[in-house]
């Protein structure tokens, strides 16, 4: 494998990020969110995130997102080792811009849903979910 200067720099960056990760979990989540929004400003309102306040089992936490007029909705778990959870991209036949699924949460944390609207702007909703038993194995 050829190691270019760019490759080795990226590798060093990734290694640095990996060591910092356990102490700055939220930073990783913010990074994942800005990767989705492309750094654009994120407004609020017009998006609903339904999640339980207390989840006894972090292995299956039911969540539902609903954002009328959205092109895609991405869900992030700010306290997970990998913050990205799922991205719903809606096609021309989507009846409503909603989706529901079941997710894993490593511990008590904020779940964030970010929607991209048809005009290119972004809106988000946040909710804290208290988790009794984490869902990432160990």
Partner 1 sequence: MADNVKPRVRVPRSAAAGETITIKTLISHPMESGQRKDSDGNPIPRSIINRFTAEFNGQNVVDVTLEPAISTNPFLEFQSVVPEAGTFTFTWFDDDGSVYTESKDIAIG
Among 96, 128, 132, 133, binds partner 1 (CB under 8 A): 96
> If 0-12 CB within 10 Å is exposed, 13-18 middle and 19+ buried, where does residue 130 land?
middle
Does residue 90 touch partner 1 according to CB under 8 A? Answer: yes
DSSP letter at 22 equals: G
Q: Which of 71, 50, 84 has the alpha carbon at shortest distance from 123?
A: 71
Q: How many residues bind partner 1 (CB under 8 A)?
A: 33
**Whole-number Å distance between alpha carbons of 16 and 94:** 41
The verdict on 136 binding partner 1 (CB under 8 A) reads yes
Closer residue to partner 1, CB minimum distance, 79 or 125: 79
**Is there binding between residue 60 and partner 1 (CB under 8 A)?**
yes
CA 79 to chain centre: 10
Q: Contact between 71 and partner 1 (CB under 8 A)?
A: no
Contacts to partner 1 by CB under 8 A: 59-61, 64, 77, 80-82, 84-96, 98-105, 135-138
């Amino acid at each position: 494998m050829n190691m270019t200067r760019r490759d080795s720099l990226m590798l060093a960056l990734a290694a640095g990020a990996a060591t910092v990760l356990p102490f700055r979990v939220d930073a990783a989540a913010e990074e994942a969110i800005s990767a989705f929004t492309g750094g654009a400003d994120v407004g609020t309102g017009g998006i609903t995130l339904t999640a339980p306040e207390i989840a006894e089992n972090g292995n299956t936490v039911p969540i539902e997102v609903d954002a009328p007029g959205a092109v895609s909705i991405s869900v992030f778990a700010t306290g997970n080792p990998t913050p990205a959870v799922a991205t719903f991209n809606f096609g021309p036949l989507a009846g409503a811009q909603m989706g529901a699924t079941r997710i894993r949460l490593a511990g008590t944390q904020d779940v964030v849903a970010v929607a991209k609207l048809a005009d290119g702007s972004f809106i988000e909703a946040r909710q804290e979910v208290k988790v009794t038993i984490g869902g990432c194995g160990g």
